[in-house]
Amino acid sequence: MTAEPVAEQPSTPLAGLARLLDQHVVAHDDVKEALLLALVCREHIYIEGPPGTAKTRLAEIVASGCGLEFFFYQLHRDTRLAELVGDIVLERRPIEQAPEELLAGPGGAPAPDAGPSDAKPPAAEAPGASIGERIHQRIEPGGLLVAEICVLDDISRAPGEALNVLLRLLNERRFGSDEIPLLTAIATGNPMDDEYYNEPLDPANLDRFALQLRVRGLIHDGGEAARELIDRFASGDVEERPEPSAVIDREDLDRAYDELSNVEVPDGVRAGLLEVLRTLVTDEECDESNSLLTDRSFLVKAVKLIRGRALLRGRRSATAEDLDVLLWMSTFRVPEEVAARMGEIVARVQAKVGSG
């Protein structure tokens, strides 16, 4: 998958950001590329892995490296609406209303809630003793509503109900009927089979994150990358959490996004995409009850991501190789056994498309 690392192609968009990621984080090449892909395609990404595997770190570097309006939020069990979308403001304004109008109510009918305490004749009331007040609760936009890029850390810690508000924010990028400037949301979560207080994302929320990856600890896995990681910090002159400055800006991202639609997706690649889907539905028995093979993700967003991957590698036309994005789309959308075989499934189709 990393035959031609993005960072080594200076001509491609976001190469600067790719270098920045390499500078700060050892290995995790797939997560890095997926993050760049999410930025280029303006899609959302969900990264799941055990603690201390650089999930949040990578997200932070991306966020500060592209110099956008940035919102970082750590979700928790008691996550409230206000914490995600800004402050709730309670306003009270006096309403001008004549005392007699108040008493009579509109249309002259007695107030519906008139109780025994109201039996007093109107004349007994002191003039000017009535106050009308409007109580208005509104949201002062903040948080997700003003951010261009956001990191939703530990998203699995929030109960599903609290995340309902995200559905529309992430997908239509609207709050009520107002557009929000959000480009990409990066969510991180802990593995579901662990003893954390967390629960899996509900399917609707999960589908908002077009890209979904699982990370593992380098040291846990051993190997060359683990050595590099340990050595890097052993020298003692590496700051653990440096604050990188922006290396790209909004214009770079806009340019890349515009170019996206110029990337060609040849007939064979489209057929390949359908062939993978057909394999999943027919041979692997994925259906609505065990999978999340939604039209939105696999017919619309998949095409965008295929284009994005080609673009990141400096190509103007997609190839069968770009079907690799399906691996990042299916991680949590198909049953675990099927996800483990996705590599084979995609490779088989790629070979067929390549030869045909």
Site for other proteins in 36-75 (CB under 8 A): none
Residue with tokens 């499934």: 345
Residue with tokens 């008691």: 78
CB of 138 to other proteins, least distance (A): 9
Q: Identify which range of 2-10, 51-59, 96-104, 249-257 contacts other proteins by CB under 8 A.
A: 96-104
Helix, coil or strand: residue 275? helix
Contacts of 82 (CB under 8 A, 6+ apart): 88, 139
Sign of the CA dihedral running 281, 282, 283, 285:
positive
Q: Which of 308, 304, 302 is nearest to 274 (CA)?
A: 302
Residue 9 CA to residue 12 CA, distance in Å, equals 6
**Residue 277 interacts with other proteins (CB under 8 A)?**
yes
Using CB under 8 A, which of 134, 240, 243, 356 touches other proteins?
A: 134
Quick note: the x/- pattern for other proteins over 227-246, rule CB under 8 A, is --------------------
Q: What is the DSSP letter of 297?
A: I
Q: What CA–CA distances, in Å, run from 71 to 27, 60, 146, 300, 306? A: 26, 10, 8, 27, 28
Q: Restricting to residues 150-189, name those near other proteins by CB under 8 A.
A: 158-162, 164-165, 167-168, 171-172, 174, 176-177
CB of 45 to other proteins, least distance (A): 17
**Residue 5 interacts with other proteins (CB under 8 A)?**
no
Using CB under 8 A, which of 116, 336, 344, 355 touches other proteins?
A: 336
Other CB atoms within 10 Å distance of the CB of residue 332: 23
Using CB under 8 A, which of 199, 225, 244, 268 touches other proteins?
A: 199
Using CB under 8 A, which of 51, 52, 110, 343 touches other proteins?
A: 110
Q: Identify which range of 3-11, 50-58, 192-200, 222-230 contacts other proteins by CB under 8 A.
A: 192-200
Q: Identify which range of 9-17, 54-62, 223-231, 288-296 contacts other proteins by CB under 8 A.
A: 288-296
Residue with tokens 């519906």: 112
> What number of chain residues touch other proteins (CB under 8 A)?
93
Residue 196 CA to residue 68 CA, distance in Å, equals 32
Nearer to other proteins, 3 or 129 (CB): 129
Using CB under 8 A, which of 55, 304, 309, 313 touches other proteins?
A: 304
As beta bridge partners, residue 153 has 74
